[in-house]
Amino acid sequence: MGILNVTPDSFSDGGLHEGTERAVAHGFTLAAQGADIVDVGGESTRPGAVPVPEEEELSRVLPVVRELSAGSVRVSIDTMHADVARAALRAGACMVNDVSGGLADSQMARVVAESGAPFVVMHWRAPSRSMHRHAGYGDVVAEVRDELCRRLDELSAQGVAREQLVLDPGLGFAKRPEHDWALLSHLDVFTGLGLPVLVGASRKSFLATVCATPHGGVPAGRDAATTAVSALAASAGAWGIRVHDVPANRDAVRVARAWHSPARRG
């Protein structure tokens, strides 16, 4: 899953792809580089980010979704807002990626259920502007698993089919670095729930704790660490990875696949 932020303030690439023309061009580049899905978002969810008006989010993402979808690119809409999800699905998006797992908007479950589209359900405790205050855990793996399972039950009760669901443990969202590493090292707990698992580690700050050079202090300096996580996540059974740098991470996934399936080598 290639990341396409049509925002001025995303933590890694805010402003780089702002505007329809630049965003669409980058979306086609991501697809050409090997992204199976291009994830289009119009509202930053970086720590401390504040919401944008829904009308502004729609104006950012809808033209991009339309043009990419018309060009045969599989598009996911990255949004917490039901009206944005509905409009993007009508414009050609084939998946909804909601970092709140439907908790931020009570109508999201209905939109997803009616559409039948795949729905990425991320572990979420609070909005970006205050999530750092909710990063307290006794056993982070067990608590994230249990909270995700409760959310799945709630979505099921609201009509969302189990086969629509993709799980995301929510790295960096109400998590400290030690929590993120624990979740990654126990990814089998989440793949063991029997649903596809998406891992979104790309360029996140927890990777700086293992970077060997000062470049780890900036998001783009964490790309090598990201590819290592991608290979390990693929080996652990992740369904997908959400990344900024598609070619390197595509290769990392292919290495993991070849490692486990000798017939695929060469």
Active site residues: 204, 242
* Strand runs labelled E in 100-192: 119-122, 165-168
- Dist. CA 101–CA 149, nearest whole Å: 11
How many CB atoms lie under 10 A from the CB of residue 213?
A: 8
- Dist. CA 170–CA 197, nearest whole Å: 11
- Antiparallel, parallel or unpaired: β 38-41 and 2-5: parallel
Sign, Cα dihedral of 78, 84, 86, 88: negative
Q: Give the H or E element holding residue 149.
A: helix 140-157
- The number of angstroms, rounded, from the C-alpha of 213 to the middle of its chain's C-alpha atoms is 26
Q: Is 44 helix (H, G, I), strand (E, B) or coil?
A: coil
Q: Is 75 helix (H, G, I), strand (E, B) or coil?
A: strand
Instruction: Please list the residues that pair with 166 across neighbouring strands.
Output: 120
With contact defined as beta carbons under 8 Å apart, do 73 and 32 qualify?
A: no
Residue 197 is classified by DSSP as B
With contact defined as beta carbons under 8 Å apart, do 129 and 48 qualify?
A: yes
How many CB atoms lie under 10 A from the CB of residue 31?
A: 21
